[in-house]
Structure 1
């Protein structure tokens, strides 16, 4: 691993002096954060959805089977920060189109100057999770420790999407950031109950106990 360019990116991000450009990020953070945290604007996001509700990634050798373990709901959740090739090699991705998409995206990362925040979570079949922003802690980053925090919200899927109200899907996000680090000792995730004001799509029965609204903007799955 080339140390000089990595250190330049690391120190620039920590000091907030560099405009991190060169990545075709599809999302821009719009929220304001405390001075101890740095929003990352130039990021790339890959999102996937497994409608079978299977696990997408694990640190174990084998992914849990829903048929063998009905409690696999807990295994659908994953949160990993990848700062080196070894971090990626330690993961097992599902041999499914969503799993392969996440694996390929992570494998394209230049870890000398980039890192990836990888997340997976269960979601109701008729709902979507929408990515909003990502930020990092300045002080740990200055010491080579990347601690990212990602913000998401839940939204209804479009009314023309065929879905079962009592089914559970799995969604995954890989967020590539133009920041390098030596390690990661922590990460965070914030989930809002809705993505904005509005009413449920007409296809839904108003008597059903849903609590949120139509979505607007963002990368979703």
Structure 2
């Protein structure tokens, strides 16, 4: 019975920290900063994965869609799930691939007593990469233990030395751990720019910290 008050305290603290973080900096020419009704979270943890076969990475159903038999498989690559407890992870079917295992392992390490996770997957052209620009939450919902995360992304072309075919589709996945414990989640959101602004560097999909310093696309 002590868990709920503890979660409420963590939610209140996270909301206050996010409020301070949301006031540091601005970027009027980009959607990489949250709108006025959301507060930016800077101290998140991130794991990324790319499946070059283009298969689905995760589903809430019993089986992943098959590219060969499911005509809606391309649309079903696009999915997002908010995890506020270990039961949420158990309810998902994650691909038994290297990319799927990367995401699953990261999510399994989440301490849901002090954090939650936002899992997203999406298709992308083989010659393009995806960058995570920012993570934010709706603070008004946190008071009720309801986490509404929002992630902003952008796309850019991968380096010229990366072999790729423009007519092929890959699948990319992002597992974002935020330091906010919540009781539930009844909503989430994301945004996508079709080009990434120069500068930064923002977090680059699928690259190490050393690679990110150069601002290269994945």
TM range (shorter): 0.7 to 0.9
- In structure 2, the residue matched to 1:117 is 118
- In structure 2, the residue matched to 1:192 is 193
Once the two structures are superposed, residues 10-53 of structure 1 have per-residue CA deviations (whole angstroms, 9 ceiling, x without a partner) of 11123448989xxxxxxx99755455321111100111100000
Give the unaligned 5+ runs of structure 1.
Answer: 21-27, 198-213
Aligned Cα RMSD in Å? 2.4
- In structure 2, the residue matched to 1:36 is 37
1:72 aligns with 2:57: no
Residue 57 of structure 1: how far off its partner (Å) = 0.3
Distance in 2 (alpha carbons) for counterparts of 1:168 and 1:34? 31
Distance in 1 (alpha carbons) for counterparts of 2:174 and 2:18? 28
Q: 1:219 aligns with which of 204, 209, 218?
A: 204
Distance in 1 (alpha carbons) for counterparts of 2:40 and 2:172? 23
Distance in 1 (alpha carbons) for counterparts of 2:73 and 2:35? 37
Distance in 2 (alpha carbons) for counterparts of 1:33 and 1:133? 8
- In structure 2, the residue matched to 1:173 is 174
Tell me which moved more, 141-150 or 31-40: 31-40
Q: After the TM superposition, which residues 1-221 of structure 1 pair with which residues of structure 2 at under 5 Å, given as runs?
A: 2-16=3-17, 32-197=33-198, 216-221=201-206
**Structure 1 residues 62 and 11: CA distance shift in structure 2, 3 A:** same
Count of residue pairs brought into register by the alignment: 198
SS of equivalent to 1:149: strand
Distance in 1 (alpha carbons) for counterparts of 2:33 and 2:102? 31
- Relative to total residues, which structure has the larger helix share, 1 or 2? 2
**Structure 1 residues 17 and 100: CA distance shift in structure 2, 3 A:** closer
Residue 6 of structure 1: how far off its partner (Å) = 2.3
2:19–2:39 contact (8 Å) kept in structure 1: no
Once the two structures are superposed, residues 73-98 of structure 1 have per-residue CA deviations (whole angstroms, 9 ceiling, x without a partner) of 01101110000111111001000000
Once the two structures are superposed, residues 138-161 of structure 1 have per-residue CA deviations (whole angstroms, 9 ceiling, x without a partner) of 101111110001010001111111
**Structure 1 residues 117 and 191: CA distance shift in structure 2, 3 A:** same
**Structure 1 residues 191 and 32: CA distance shift in structure 2, 3 A:** closer
1:45–1:176 contact (8 Å) kept in structure 2: yes
2:121–2:171 contact (8 Å) kept in structure 1: yes
Give the unaligned 5+ runs of structure 2.
Answer: 207-218
1:5–1:113 contact (8 Å) kept in structure 2: no
User: TM-score w.r.t. structure 2 length?
Assistant: 0.83
Residue 107 of structure 1: how far off its partner (Å) = 0.4
